[in-house]
Amino acid sequence: MFDTLIRNGTVVDGTGRDSYVSDLGIKGGKITAIGDLSSSFAENTINAERMIVAPGFIDIHTHSDMPLLADPRAESQIRQGVTTEVIGNCGLSLAPCTDESRESMLDSKGYPELDTWNSYGELLEVMDKANIATNVVGLVGHGALRSVVMGLQAPRTATGEEVTEMVSLLEQSLEEGAFGMSTGLEYHPGKMAGFDELAALCRAVAKVNGFYATHSRNRDKRYFVGFGEAMDLARVSGVRLQISHVNPKYGRPEHAMRNTLQMIEWAREEGVDVAMDMMPTNWNFTSAMAQLPAWAYALPKNEFIDLLKSAEGRERLKVNPLPMWQLVVEERWEKIKLMSSFANKQYISWTIEEIAKEKGSTGWDVIFDLLLEEGDQHQGMVLTSEAFAEEDNQLALSSALCAIGSDTMALANDGVLKGRQLGYSGYNWTAKYMTQYLRDGKVIGLEEGIRRLTSLPASRIGLTDRGRLIPGAAADIVVFDLSRIKDNSSFTDPNVYAGGYEHVMVNGVFALNSGKRTPDHAGLVLRRN
């Protein structure tokens, strides 16, 4: 007797092996049998004939930290087959923190006080109580460590004593359940970190066999330096390295992706444990603030606002020795769109060039004007740009080491998260990947394509009981008709759920049943060891 029987499905087990038709038996939140179960009984039975039965998708790169506390339903993720999310990426995590840094993070993104915590263990306990729909794997953000030890947004290198304190705080967080650490080296305050600081932290992660996910220092003109630094850190520290969203950006040499794959292979031949993930899109995104020089982050709000109001201040803010986007350096405003804004929702999906024409202004002045109008929530204003070359995406996918991640967050088109965005395909990223690269484009085969969403990210994270359909594994399962999978996203209406996903189970409990969302939440906060 099983809790649930899935009958006659085409099993794509997550390992990359050929699919086969079989039944699955689920009991107590686990897969307990795979095979001919025609004589067995269950409380619930699904007829999966002509449908794919796969492990629940593991999103190796999300920013769902705040959204899951604000709205634990994770609607946009559940409705496209995602059952596990890795949070704390790009150096940004909600813990460890001081009361001041926690309140600053929430306020800058327009969230109310969601609860109170300081240590990483306390944050995980808060998430335990939040009744989340997806499983969660947590990383410690390097920016969070810096903020606690050095104060908010310190625009300088760390002293030896400060590095020692950061290492101690990281070790505590790893002991309390974090799976590893992330950096955002194109962002402030990560861009101010030196190699020795990062190496000391990576050694602490390596001691517990955690993994290090990095948003590298550069992915365009100096991609070789950015990725080379990441691999050198892994080489000297012994840490397991995950290069986040490896897609090279606008401004990169044409050979950048090819050379990056060569670098990774050479490093692995030397014994360096390195892999990567990519976003299945040609559009990237970041905060408008990321285009400004590092010193601007350290300014009190009133001083920053005063700079935005003056012509002289605006000229100073344009001078950024470590530019985030070459598109901004070249002022290619026709390729940059406003993606998220609290104060100017009417301009969302417009290019900066279009807004400038509407206002009779210039591109830079539009950015500054919009930031002014955002007020205290200016850090929540997000831009998106047509930055990734399709040939680079397909080349990245040719490597068996390339997992797929969203770089978005769990959202909902109703409730407290209504209207928020992080990436225009946030509601449809798995559908876009499945249709463009597996079903229609046939860049890689179905079985291998599913592996990139399941057992590959599980192995990088260090999860042994998820990502594969085998007896004893957690019953995180997605059932879908590949012919019906549909990417419903668009710039004008991005917050529309994906189509074609029929059933989603998290730890043996239906989150999506016959295409309809259930009220049941069975997600777990996973802890290292």
Helix/strand/coil (H/E/C) assignment for every residue in 205-257: HHHCCCEEEEECCCCCCCHHHHHHHHHHHHHHHCCEEEECCCCCCCCCCCCHH
Label residue 380 by pLDDT band (50, 70, 90): confident
104 has pLDDT over 90: no
Label residue 457 by pLDDT band (50, 70, 90): very high
Residue 178's nearest CA partner among 107, 239, 96, 249 is: 96
Dump pLDDT digits (tens) for 392-404: 999 999 999 999 9
154 has pLDDT over 80: no
What are the structural domains, with CATH classification, of the chain?
2-55+469-517 (2.30.40.10), 288-386 (no CATH)
- Predicted confidence at residue 486, as pLDDT, reads 97
Q: What whole-number distance in Å separates Cα of residue 313 and Cα of residue 264?
A: 42
Q: What whole-number distance in Å separates Cα of residue 156 and Cα of residue 106?
A: 24
Dump pLDDT digits (tens) for 49-88: 999 999 999 999 999 999 999 999 999 999 999 999 999 9
Dump pLDDT digits (tens) for 425-456: 999 999 999 999 999 999 999 999 999 999 99
N residues, the chain: 529
91 has pLDDT over 80: yes
Dump pLDDT digits (tens) for 341-350: 989 999 999 9
Q: Residue 300 has what DSSP assignment? A: -
CB distance 514 to 79 below 8 Å: no
Dump pLDDT digits (tens) for 225-263: 999 999 999 999 999 999 999 999 999 999 999 999 999
H or E stretch covering 86: strand 82-87
Label residue 416 by pLDDT band (50, 70, 90): very high
Rg of the chain over Cα atoms, rounded to whole angstroms, equals 22
Q: What whole-number distance in Å separates Cα of residue 485 and Cα of residue 5?
A: 23
